[in-house]
Chain A
Amino acid sequence: MSMPVKALIEEVLSDLKRVGGVNASAVVTRDGLLIASDVMIGMDAETFAAMTATMTGAAETAMNEVKAGSLDRVIVEGESAKIISIGAGPKALLVVLTAPEAPLGLALLKIGDATRKISKLLE
């Protein structure tokens, strides 16, 4: 991928961080490779990319197994964070890490906008 696209995606991720409660984000391919990230120091973005792609892939196959249609998003709620993974076009995912108390409605709205931008950039 050319550098400008990566830089433009990083800009989208940087904007996303301005949303209250969003602590980190990454764009990864559906097969687990890191495209761009805005993560905190000490976090291995590449491992995170592989793990979240796996989590989303497994959720997708589980949905298929129970014939529940296509997957909209995966939300994992933990003691000190939420992980939200959502498709950004056919080949990529946007994964966002938020604070546990972050309002999900607003975050999802902003994440939705970001996925549309990223999807367009990756076309």
Chain B
Amino acid sequence: MAIDKLKAKLIKQMLEKGFYDIKKVLEIDEKKGKISIKGERMLITSSLGFANLHGSVEKIAGKAAPAIIRAYGGSCAKRDFIGVWKAWLPDIKVETVLSLFSAIYSTVGWGKVADISLSKDEGRVIFKNCFEADAVLKTYGKKDGPQCHFVTGYLEVLFSEMTGKDWQVTETKCEAKGDELCEFQIILK
């Protein structure tokens, strides 16, 4: 019950800041051809670009492509943790991120977060319609193994940044290989 109250309060605060209403926070400068949020330039592009990223990196790095894409995801998480999470909620706590994760990442188009949990030494995130799996599936068809390398790297660094501990994230189910959802298991390294 206390968690529900905390969650409701946090969501209210975020709503007041206009976080979920993209129209409230998006600044459009037609003269300069720029769109931005809180001074940071944004770019709207097709999510299928992630499939191109997979394809291009794979062409150069072969089987090691996931390592590069995970590193990219991790660097984006670090940036988002400081530039978005900490910028909007300076006294951020793990519970805050867990409470708001689903609403925020669904809002920005990552997919529907069906479940998120984190205990002292393990956790789990489940995405339905994950953008990365969707892009790979649409572009290349069904794959043999999990494909959400960007999301894997992103979650690993996001959870590490917010807890100050080292986590390992492994995608155990992926829509791109025919599973119903994308499941990420989180364990303490």
Range for the number of chain B residues in contact with chain A = 10 to 19
Q: Point out the residue from B59, B66, B70 that lies within 8 Å of A61, measured CB to CB.
A: B59
Which residues of the partner chain A approach B60 to less than 8 Å between Cβ atoms? 58, 61
Q: Determine if B94 is an interface residue (Cβ-Cβ < 8 Å).
A: no
Q: Which of B62, B63, B71 contacts A50 (CB 8 A)?
A: B71
Selected from A33, A54, A60, A64, the residue in CB contact (under 8 A) with B68 is A54
Task: Tell me whether chain A's interface is mostly helix, strand or loop, or mixed.
Answer: helix
B residues near A33, Cβ cutoff 8 Å: 67
In the assembled complex, the Cα of A108 lies from the Cα of B64 at a distance in Å of 23
Report the bound CA distance from A33 to B189 in whole Å. 12
Given A31-B66, A32-B66, answer yes or no on A57-B61 (Cβ-Cβ < 8 Å).
Answer: yes
Which residues of chain A are near B59, meaning CB under 8 Å? 61
Cβ contacts under 8 Å, B84 to chain A: none
| A57-87 interface code vs B (CB 8 A; 1 in, 0 out) | 1101100100000000000000000000000
User: How many interface residues does A have (CB within 8 Å)?
Assistant: 15
CA distance A54 to B71 in the complex (A): 11
Instruction: Report the minimal beta-carbon distance from B7 to chain A, rounded to whole angstroms.
Output: 34
Q: Which residue of B lies closest to A64 (CB)?
A: B62
Complex contacts, A30 vs chain B, CB 8 Å: 63-64
Of A53, A54, A61, most buried by chain B (CB within 10 Å of CB) is A54
Chain A residues positioned under 8 Å from B116 (CB to CB): none
Q: Is A56's beta carbon under 8 Å from chain B?
A: yes
Interface residues of A (CB under 8 A from B): 30-33, 49-50, 53-58, 60-61, 64
